[in-house]
Structure 1
Amino acid sequence: MRFPLKWPALNGRVLLLGLLLASSAAYADDPRTTQTAGHKGPTALRGPGRAAIASANFHATEAGLEVLSKGGNAFDAAVAVASTLSVVEPESSGIGGGFMAVIHRAWDGKQFFIDARETAPAAVNVKDYLNKDGTPNRDTALNGPLSAGIPGEPAGLVWLSKHYGKLPLKDALAPAVRIARDGFEPDSRLINAITERQKDIGRWPASVTKFLPDGKPPVAGAVWRDPDQARTLELLGEKGLDGFYRGEVAQKLVSSVRAAGGNWTAKDLESYQVKEREPITVNYRGYRIVTAPPPSSGGVAVAEILNILSGFDLSKMDTAHRMHLVIEAMRRAFRDHNDYLGDPDFVKMPLDMLLSPYYADGLRQTILMDKATPSSMLPSSAGAEPGMHTTHFSIIDGEGNIASITLTVNYTLGSTFVAQGTGVLLNDEMDDFALVPNKPNVYGLLGSKANAPEPGKRMLSSMTPSIVFGADRIGVIGSPGGSTIITQVLEGIFAFIDGKNALGIAGQKRFHHQFMPDRVDMEDGVFDKATADELTRMGHALKQREPWGYMNVVTWDLKSGTLDAASDPRRPSGLGKVQ
């Protein structure tokens, strides 16, 4: 089958503009249009009576279960898990970073999106991230205090506790405080991360104190303590926002950053605000997916891909053609990701267009059934390797409250800069801005002026925490993985719809296309030889890579009440547990 449109003869932007103009009048009244409003979930469900948590570290999972056993709910447990990950998994997240959360409140069946993303400091200056010749300065974008946005995670934890939790904040933070104070044995991934970034860590005295005891990385079996972070978490629990964004911790953060050449001010910290936004909702083949809106790009991309694919009967196709269509949908969604998306408080985005099934109809017509569309046909520039960092956890409690939360400090160990006397490792999220338009960041993602840095602006993120509602099952899905987060969550949704259990979803082999570079990254064995040969014949460039992502999944069978939790088998230190 071939569509009548002769795609290779058309310019991508002209075509897309034509699609926009041709269908713009229909968006508002079309009953099939993807819902962008939240709070339209199912009515309240009877809880399962048990709880399940899946996270990337067993200390964090156990911390969450401990808080549940003391009378907390899923949101108190989320505070416990996130803060404990800050202590035991600093290579991926921490209170010096930020998070995005999709949550479901049991008593009324409503969903909410919590945006605790980092923000640019008021004194942000693009020139700080450029070399003299105008090319991106990768060092200032990724290392040290200039690479750090104002942290959002502490404020997000306070928000979760205050608006949705049942316990005092200090009780939910208690496991993390205890582990930081008494110590734990670092796992191999943390040790390897410190070893990998030892040279950068060595540039900052407080970072050396924290990560290089005796001048070298910790070793397996050694007990590692973080008393400074324990004290910071205690102050957060005792004073809430004032324990981090004002007072002694804030003073130490600002003085340390400025002494090392950064530009934070006390006002930057005092001005930080959590944003509660309406999640994106998309219906696909009888399932309702609730996911992250901007400043996450993930939910828009997942919705766009599902809308494109909803016009095909994938079940009647052989594997090669089914995968071809998924790859082509990925390609188009990532193109739009690069061009249109940014912080909704700063940028007007055409979300009605991007989320409309009419727009998806138009994009679908550009896909040839037996031939790959070169990404060069959709205006672009070269990208780089996608990255594999960040962390995610999933929770369902006995009442039926749900938390799907993705946290990050961006690159491995963030900026590697620790603020003196706080134990706080700062993020390097400034690299997630389009510091130089149409030049790739560390994950190979391109950006436009929509994602250019401005004072107080949130940088675009790939984090895609999601909840999938079916007639008989609910799935809580998310993953780290830089730009691959979006495609991992997409493939996790497909696996859930196909009936796989939590381990099957978390452990399945993965493939990824992000528009540029124009190739399909794949894990070994994701395609059989016949499928790989057919995709190659169609014009897809396949590249095998090491396994990626550390997905953490919880599922709930509504008929039996059974919970299932699994951490990605690619990371042995993770734990999915039902209690």
Structure 2
Amino acid sequence: MRRRSVRLSALITAVAAVGSLSVAAAPAAPPPSDRGTPPKEPVAVGYGGAVASVDPDASAIGVDVLRRGGNAVDAAVATAAALGVTEPFSAGIGGGGYFVYFDADSGRVHTLDGRERAPLSADESLFLENGEPLPFDEAVTSGLSVGTPGTPATWDAALDAWGTTSLRKAVRPAAKLAHRGFTVDETFRSQVADNEERFRDFPASAELFLPGGELPEVGSTIRNKDLARTYTKLGRRGVDAFYRGPLARDIADTVQDPKVAEGAERVVRPGDMTARDLRAYDVKFQDPTHVDYRGLDVYGMAPSSSGGTTVGEALNIMENQDLSEASKKEFLHHYLEASKLAYADRGRWLGDAAYEDVPVEGLLSQEFADARACLVDDEKAMQSPVAFGDPRDPAGCERGDQVAPLTYEGTSTTHLTTADRWGNVVSYTLTIEQIGGSAMTVPGRGFLLNNELTDFSFAPAAEDVPDPNLPGPGKRPRSSMSPTIVLEDGKAAFALGSPGGSTIITTVLQTLVNRVDRDMSLPEAIAAPRATQRNTEETLLEKDLYDSSVRGELEDMGHLFAETGEIGAATGIERLGRGKWLAAAEPERRGAGSAMVPHPVRQDR
């Protein structure tokens, strides 16, 4: 297999030719305190680093950090804090996430597992009542679903290990944004509308997100002075202000005794999180996952996330196929079959490695991938769901007869990507689980609590299939978050990630192979229509793929399809060389994203 460089000499020309993905840059934005909400631009090219997120206020704050001399870690934390203001239904200090960092000086990739943890009192019966699993919609809006948040500890650990600024300075712009307010867009309003009934049942949430008892109007201003005060307290007193003392007690009280509106008919079960759980929380420094794909080094997140192993296994399965010359049908067929097999193995083997024996090395070995790849028929789709393999003892083309379940994961997550002038890169995915999380705002503190523990299996799917994702004391639920950094010759080539629950893995995988195997520019790879196959009977297709002729060609091979709405909402950055960076975000999905650079350059068309 020949090596395929990701450095395309005609990259800028290709990007500019994508029409709506123009990189013709506006003048550099002034500091966030001196302007209103900047416009959303999905592509930016320039110098001094790059920031890509879903929100222009957040991206502008991150770029301002870079412009003032901060590094990629400083910018990532500042951007994330701002997203906690403007994207409170997707992320915030009431949740958790995964932080992947490339240090240009050492050439090493580091990761932080800031995933939420179950209470120390939890066991496998966490979501059982009278011996039966709780209805999912009842578990979601409850104290039972709330995991001990990891986001503040992640910010603090990342800044302490690799940043150049303090937590106080990193969160200050977001505190100002929360105090002065931000402009409501259609996406924000629609997310409130989707959660209106839940928010009305919690007075603190209704007061914050339903001003005057009504849905916020597009174009109106939302202020969150409680969150501004919380951020200021974190900055002044450090991360211990979150995990100890009055704020920690307020979080535990909200979980143990949810404050439900008078007259509300919703049954909101309390949880068992205590102040002790908050004091005991720790963020984990751990090695990344790593595979070699077409001569590139692909780094991702190890368990408790399943993202790095599943993306890595799928890439290894595809490694021995030259997809650069494949037809669209052939390319999609191999991508879907590799996804199917990798998800089959994910369901059986992935859980929190602090509690489960997760065979990471085996899952990422080329020997195991080859044993799975030989099941792929060039002319015919495998009937799914397919059985899982055994990475501890790979048996070539052994089909097996046991299938592991696919657990539900909420789609309300966000991803940001940053780079700096020195070549350091951050890929950071953070979440509060589904849109609106648990719907419970900590009174007087201005942030929603997650419902992340619903990512656990509620009960074993089958007696004869071990489930590594059952709840346990202090355990982290399995995640699909897949922040990814790709290196070439020891330097950052590009980085990406996405929200989307269990579709995160396929979004990252498809975007990555579009970029590497299909010679798409990064903006083209992000914008391309998506398919997600997660070892389910049907593959979900976005409309443009569902309506295309290739669907019929794949159906003739045995693939089954259903149409779905948007899949994922990716952001990424790419190093163009000579100090120039490209930032890329969605041009349309989730209302489009925001790509910025400190010093933009205008490209000739």
TM-score, normalization by structure 1: 0.86
**Structure-to-structure mapping, 1:285-434, within 5 angstroms:** 285-378=294-387, 379-380=402-403, 388-434=411-457
Q: Could you say what the CA RMSD is over the residues aligned between the two structures, in angstroms?
A: 2.0
- Inter-partner Cα distance in structure 1 for 2:344 and 2:564: 22
Aligned residue in 2 for 1:485: 504
**Structure-to-structure mapping, 1:403-552, within 5 angstroms:** 403-438=426-461, 449-471=467-489, 474-497=493-516, 498-516=518-536, 518-526=537-545, 529-552=548-571
Instruction: Give the letter for the 2:149 counterpart.
Output: P
- Inter-partner Cα distance in structure 1 for 2:548 and 2:203: 52
Q: Deviations over 1:45-89 (max 9, x none)?
A: xxx951110000001001111222333211111111111101100
Instruction: Give the letter for the 1:269 counterpart.
Output: L
| In the alignment, structure 1 residue 227 sits paired with structure 2 residue 225 | yes
Residue 127 of structure 1, CA deviation: 4.0
Contact 2:90/2:435, CA 8 A, preserved across alignment = yes
Residue 448 of structure 1, CA deviation: 5.1
- Inter-partner Cα distance in structure 2 for 1:316 and 1:71: 44
- Inter-partner Cα distance in structure 2 for 1:326 and 1:184: 40
Instruction: Give the letter for the 2:372 counterpart.
Output: L
**Aligned equivalent of 1:148, options 146, 149, 155:** 146
- Inter-partner Cα distance in structure 2 for 1:572 and 1:479: 14
Summarize the Cα distance change of 1:394–1:191 in structure 2 as closer, same or farther, 3 Å threshold: same
TM-score, normalization by structure 2: 0.83
More helix by percentage? 1
Contact 1:553/1:566, CA 8 A, preserved across alignment = yes
Instruction: Give the letter for the 1:422 counterpart.
Output: R
Aligned residue in 1 for 2:249: 251
Residue 547 of structure 1, CA deviation: 2.3
**Aligned equivalent of 1:279, options 278, 281, 288:** 288
Q: Deviations over 1:411-468 (max 9, x none)?
A: 00111011112112100001111122239xxxxxxx9531111111111100000011
Q: Deviations over 1:290-337 (max 9, x none)?
A: 111111101101111111111222234332222212111111100111
Aligned residue in 2 for 1:116: 114
Residue 492 of structure 1, CA deviation: 1.4
**Structure-to-structure mapping, 1:92-241, within 5 angstroms:** 92-132=90-130, 134-241=132-239
Aligned residue in 2 for 1:37: none
Aligned residue in 1 for 2:574: 555
Summarize the Cα distance change of 1:532–1:49 in structure 2 as closer, same or farther, 3 Å threshold: closer
- Inter-partner Cα distance in structure 1 for 2:365 and 2:407: 30
Contact 1:501/1:555, CA 8 A, preserved across alignment = no
Summarize the Cα distance change of 1:165–1:72 in structure 2 as closer, same or farther, 3 Å threshold: same
Residue 359 of structure 1, CA deviation: 0.9
> How many residues are matched?
523
- Inter-partner Cα distance in structure 2 for 1:126 and 1:172: 39
Contact 2:120/2:474, CA 8 A, preserved across alignment = yes
Contact 1:129/1:138, CA 8 A, preserved across alignment = no
Instruction: Give the letter for the 2:505 counterpart.
Output: I
Contact 1:434/1:448, CA 8 A, preserved across alignment = no
Residue 543 of structure 1, CA deviation: 1.4
Aligned residue in 1 for 2:38: none
Contact 1:388/1:548, CA 8 A, preserved across alignment = no
SS at the partner of 1:100?
strand
Q: Deviations over 1:460-505 (max 9, x none)?
A: 1000000112359711110111111101111111122144333212
| In the alignment, structure 1 residue 564 sits paired with structure 2 residue 582 | yes
Aligned residue in 2 for 1:6: none
Summarize the Cα distance change of 1:363–1:192 in structure 2 as closer, same or farther, 3 Å threshold: same
Identity, in percent, stands at 35
